[in-house]
Chains A and B, each alone.
Chain A
Amino acid sequence: MSRLFRTATSPHVTTSNSVTRVMMTVFLALIPGIATYVWLFGWGVVINILFAILVALVCEGGMLWLRKRPLKPFLSDGSAVVTATLLALTIPPLSPWWITLIGVGFAIIVGKHLYGGLGYNPFNPAMLGYVLLLVSFPREMTSWLPVITFSQHPLDFTQSLSYILGGHLPPGLTIDALSEATPLDSLKNNLRQGNTIAEIRAQLGLDDATSRMLSIIPIFGNFGGKGWEWVNFAYLLGGLFLIWRRIIGWQIPVAMLASLAGMSLIFYGVNGNAYVSPMFHLFAGATMLGAFFIATDPVTAATSVQGRLVYGAGIGILVYIIRVWGGYPDAVAFSVLLMNMTVPLIDARFKPRVFGHLK
Chain B
Amino acid sequence: MADFRAITRQGLWANNPALVQILGMCPLLAVTTTVVNGLGLGLATMVTLVLSNGTVSIIRDWLKPEIRIPVFVMVIAAIVTAIELAMNAYVHDLYLALGIFIPLIVTNCSIIARAEAFASKNALLPSMLDGFMMGLGFTLVLVVLGSMREILGQGTWMADAHILFGEAARSWKVTVIDDYKGFLLAILPPGAFIGLGVLIAIKNVIDARGAKAVRQMPEPIVAGAEAEARA
Contact = CB atoms under 8 A, between A and B. Distances in A.
Contacts of B185: 132, 135-136
Interface in A131-164: 132, 135-138
A138 B185 CA distance: 11
A249 B115 CA distance: 57
Contacts of A38: none
A176 B190 CA distance: 29
Contacts, number: 16
B184 A137 contact: yes
Contacts of B183: 136-137
Interface residues of A, number: 6
Q: Which of A110, A136, A137 has the most CB of B within 10 A?
A: A136
Main secondary structure of the interface of B (DSSP, over half): helix
B177 interface: no
A186 B8 CA distance: 59
A244 B196 CA distance: 45
A135 B188 contact: yes
A263 B188 CA distance: 32
A135 B194 contact: no
B163 to A, nearest CB: 26
Interface string A109-136: 0100000000000000000000010011
Interface string A87-113: 000000000000000000000001000
Contacts of B184: 135-138
A95 to B, nearest CB: 13
A175 to B, nearest CB: 13
A136 B181 CA distance: 10
A251 to B, nearest CB: 31
B86 to A, nearest CB: 37
Nearest to B186: A136
Contacts of A136: 183-186, 188
A194 B157 CA distance: 44
A11 B183 CA distance: 51
A110 B181 CA distance: 23
A136 B191 CA distance: 10
A135 B194 CA distance: 15
B204 to A, nearest CB: 13
Interface string A169-202: 0000000000000000000000000000000000
B194 A110 contact: yes
Contacts of A110: 194
A137 B183 CA distance: 7
Contacts of A132: 185, 190
Nearest to B153: A136
A131 to B, nearest CB: 9
B150 to A, nearest CB: 15
A135 B184 CA distance: 7
A135 B183 CA distance: 9
A110 B183 CA distance: 17
Interface of B: 181, 183-186, 188, 190, 194
Interface of A: 110, 132, 135-138
12 contacts: A132-B190, A135-B184, A135-B185, A135-B188, A135-B190, A136-B183, A136-B184, A136-B186, A136-B188, A137-B181, A137-B183, A138-B184
Given A132-B190, A137-B184, 14 more contacts: A110-B194, A132-B185, A135-B184, A135-B185, A135-B188, A135-B190, A136-B183, A136-B184, A136-B185, A136-B186, A136-B188, A137-B181, A137-B183, A138-B184
**8 A-B pairs with the lowest CB-CB distances in the bound complex, closest first:** A136-B185, A136-B184, A136-B183, A132-B185, A135-B185, A135-B184, A135-B188, A137-B184
